[in-house]
Structure 1
Amino acid sequence: MKVLVYGMTDNPGGIESVIMSYVRNVDSEKVQFDFLSTFTPIAYEDELKERGSRVVHLPIRHEHPLQFRKELRAFMDEHAKEYDAIWVHLCSLVNIDVLKLACKKGIPRRLIHCHNSQNMWGGVRNLVHLQHRKRIIAYATDYWTCSEDAVDWFYGEGIASNPSYVYIPNAINPGDVAFDAQKRQAVREAMGWDGKVVLGNVARLHPQKNQEYLLNALAPVLGKSSNVALAIVGDGELRERLERQAEELGIADNVQFLGLRSDVRDLYQGMDAFVLPSKFEGVSMAFLEAQANGLTCLVSDTLSDEGIVNDNVIKLPITADGEKEWVDAVRRLDDSGNRAEHSKMEGSVHDIHEQVKQFYSRLHV
């Protein structure tokens, strides 16, 4: 089966991690993935090409709308007939051009996969999203979501009764992030974390991910004389503002902005807890990976219980009054015991090996 994938960006974030979990674990003799994107290069492009995937780049739609449509149409005219399915990954329905043309050019299965539970932008984009919500039933054949909390906003009420709707939990390979004591020591030495309690946040630097709140809340435990450090892994539009905030709060010595990293799975080994104060989420892939590693996870109470697998996940408020609860939770962290015993990821619905079986079944591979 040949599947055309749309939705990868140049940022190795959540959607990209979801897609790569399938790429790396699906039998390549059964399914071939090709990629269509407006980003050059896309995340993991070299790996994808090594695996035999075609990667096609289109002009950025909002910068070159006419050229985007021209090249998209040319690609579909020439190649649509080669594909059994198109798998479109979106955080909103602002742009459904690819889905529409895939329908017009006859790609038989057209899967739309929801990855967010709220609009990250607002304004006109939200109005466009609401309009497109009414129209996608004419173009898509399958409606997938990573979170059942997201479906009403993304698809509209009543989608859950549609026989083509499926809840597909985000999934990882637990073995890729399993706790390893030797790796932990090596990472802590390399990162200068020896003697510190290291809190890790893995997310793009965006208002949705709420790192501004995290810095304010944890300032009392991140002072110069503290043995607590915060490692923020990821990049984004808020980086400079967050770096200034850390300086103004007097905590810059104990806050590391590590940017985009290719060794995130190793960094989990060196952390002592994972912190995720997001305002909203589908289900964070980083959160799943942290749990696979057995890390204690401090997450915002605005998130649903979807994605919670382990028993050492603590939900905390992200209000001004709730800041003290984050501080208290950090002060109560206990690294005694076997961290590996906390992870219940293997064999759960968030284990990619379980989801690959379902993927084959849904696509009749």
Structure 2
Amino acid sequence: MKRVLAGFIMDGRSGGIDKYLLNFLENVRGDDVGIDFLTNEIDPELESYLRERKSRIFAIASLKHPVKQYRQVCKIIEQGRYDIVYLNISTAIDCAAAWAAKKMRVNRILLHSHSSGNDIESALKRKIFDIIHYICRLTLYRTATDYYGCSKKAGLWMFPAKIVESPDFSVIFNAVDTGRFQHNVEIREEIRGELRITDQFVVGHVGNFVYQKNHFFLIDVFEALKKRCPEAVLLLVGTGVRFEQVKETVREKGLEDSVKLLGFRKDADRLFQGMDFFVLPSNFEGLPTVGVEAQCAGLPCLMSDTITDEAKITGHCWFLSLKKSPEEWASFILSHRQEQDREAVRIGEGSDYSLEQLKKQQKYLLYQ
């Protein structure tokens, strides 16, 4: 049996890396492959889920204690005799496990980058973490045998250009169940009824309320749009550390009746159907799965130009600089609101994001 130690997972529900790793487990597990996971704190529900699939999960120290984490991972590898260590990370600061794998002479060490920035609330701390990231980045690549990214931009954030441009680097796009998001008139009417929306122009956004997603700029854009389009409504799906701050900003601007804060939802596929336009003004992204999902739902999409153009899979997805004013963003949205027939959307490169393509790539990375 091929033994794989994969990290880092949280609770199986917390974000893109969790979703990716659970897809990885389902796609490659079998009699010839055993997969165990690294985490910082064991979630009982996730542990039970993994146990049913004959996988174990190990709790290790957080990044606040890198030496302790290094020693723990060395011990886990020694006892488990793993053939592959597969680390999915967002920053090069998360390097202790990679160095532990190299110390233990694991045959293959796979590094997979899932971001292109540090999601830290404090500007000062973010600057400090960026500096530490770039210091760690100088040597992190020396630990690995294989390199991956959810986009080329994510790869360049984590690895030197010489690595990203070499055959040792591959892009594995975040998978989307494209059929699940296809435009559906019945679901559209159903969800708009639930949200008490009639003939309003609905702008939507899905994402955690954190620095990365840039909600305060989005609220400014919507405020400018609302002045020119009184029937506009903004749907915000998600939760996070900035949720209450955003809620207060909405109240201060007098937009409570027009901004619907929906919190955490498991039915984003249905919510996309109720929207008319999708906006993603992120400060950075590895590759935004929600942007691909929105396009699969036939929505016109406007994203910040900090986002890689690999996220564009239809002719009705555009990129705009965050240096542009909220008024300019609002004008762009209004001038493109009628650009698309959702029944006739052409997905283009969407096959690169399919679940079947992901399965092929994940199986290949184990056996190449």
- Structure 1-normalised TM-score? 0.86
Alpha-carbon distance in 2 for matches of 1:120, 1:237? 11
Deviation at 1:28, TM superposition (A): 4.6
1:351 aligns with 2:354: yes
Equivalent in 254, 260, 271 of residue 267 of structure 1 = 271
- The corresponding residue for 2:6 is 5
Q: For the structure 1 residues 360 and 253, does the alpha-carbon distance in structure 2 shift closer, same or farther, using more than 3 Å as the test?
A: same
Amino acid at match of 2:169: Y
Q: For the structure 1 residues 134 and 227, does the alpha-carbon distance in structure 2 shift closer, same or farther, using more than 3 Å as the test?
A: same
Amino acid at match of 1:180: N
> How many residues get paired?
360
- SS of corresponding position for 1:188: helix
Structure 1 stretch displaced more, 42-51 or 118-127: 42-51
- SS of corresponding position for 2:110: strand
Aligned pairs for 1:276-287 within 5 A = 276-287=280-291
Contact 1:12 1:44 in 2 (8 A): no
Deviation at 1:195, TM superposition (A): 3.2
Superimposed CA distance per residue, residues 55-92 of structure 1 (whole angstroms, 9 cap, x where no aligned partner)? 33334342x6676455444433322x1x3322211111
Q: For the structure 1 residues 147 and 181, does the alpha-carbon distance in structure 2 shift closer, same or farther, using more than 3 Å as the test?
A: same
Deviation at 1:161, TM superposition (A): 4.1
Alpha-carbon distance in 2 for matches of 1:112, 1:296? 34
Alpha-carbon distance in 1 for matches of 2:45, 2:292? 20
- SS of corresponding position for 1:253: coil
Task: State, as a whole percentage, how many aligned pairs show the same letter.
Answer: 29
CA RMSD between the two structures: 2.9
Alpha-carbon distance in 2 for matches of 1:195, 1:49? 48
Structure 1 stretch displaced more, 107-116 or 338-347: 338-347
1:132 aligns with 2:136: yes
- The corresponding residue for 2:325 is 322
Equivalent in 200, 205, 213 of residue 201 of structure 1 = 205
1:156 aligns with 2:160: yes
- SS of corresponding position for 1:166: strand
Q: For the structure 1 residues 220 and 242, does the alpha-carbon distance in structure 2 shift closer, same or farther, using more than 3 Å as the test?
A: same
Q: For the structure 1 residues 237 and 113, does the alpha-carbon distance in structure 2 shift closer, same or farther, using more than 3 Å as the test?
A: same
Q: For the structure 1 residues 86 and 73, does the alpha-carbon distance in structure 2 shift closer, same or farther, using more than 3 Å as the test?
A: closer
- SS of corresponding position for 1:194: coil
Alpha-carbon distance in 1 for matches of 2:31, 2:226? 51
Contact 1:307 1:350 in 2 (8 A): no
- The corresponding residue for 2:123 is none
Alpha-carbon distance in 2 for matches of 1:347, 1:210? 26
- The corresponding residue for 2:59 is 57
Deviation at 1:31, TM superposition (A): 4.8
Compare the two structures and name the one with the higher helix fraction.
2
Contact 1:200 1:275 in 2 (8 A): yes
Contact 2:74 2:103 in 1 (8 A): no
Alpha-carbon distance in 2 for matches of 1:147, 1:247? 37
Superimposed CA distance per residue, residues 126-158 of structure 1 (whole angstroms, 9 cap, x where no aligned partner)? 333223223223321111112222333321232
- The corresponding residue for 2:342 is 339
Deviation at 1:50, TM superposition (A): 4.7
Contact 1:293 1:343 in 2 (8 A): no
Contact 2:67 2:96 in 1 (8 A): no
Alpha-carbon distance in 1 for matches of 2:222, 2:362? 41
Which segments of 5 or more consecutive residues in structure 1 lack a partner in the other structure? none
Deviation at 1:331, TM superposition (A): 2.9
1:19 aligns with 2:21: yes
- The corresponding residue for 1:84 is 83
- Structure 2-normalised TM-score? 0.85
Superimposed CA distance per residue, residues 181-202 of structure 1 (whole angstroms, 9 cap, x where no aligned partner)? 2222222222333333222211
Deviation at 1:337, TM superposition (A): 6.8
Amino acid at match of 2:103: K
Deviation at 1:241, TM superposition (A): 1.5
Q: For the structure 1 residues 66 and 163, does the alpha-carbon distance in structure 2 shift closer, same or farther, using more than 3 Å as the test?
A: closer
Deviation at 1:9, TM superposition (A): 2.9
Alpha-carbon distance in 2 for matches of 1:362, 1:272? 38
- SS of corresponding position for 1:261: coil
Aligned pairs for 1:236-247 within 5 A = 236-247=240-251
Amino acid at match of 2:16: G
1:256 aligns with 2:255: no
Aligned pairs for 1:163-182 within 5 A = 163-182=167-186
Equivalent in 146, 162, 176 of residue 150 of structure 2 = 146
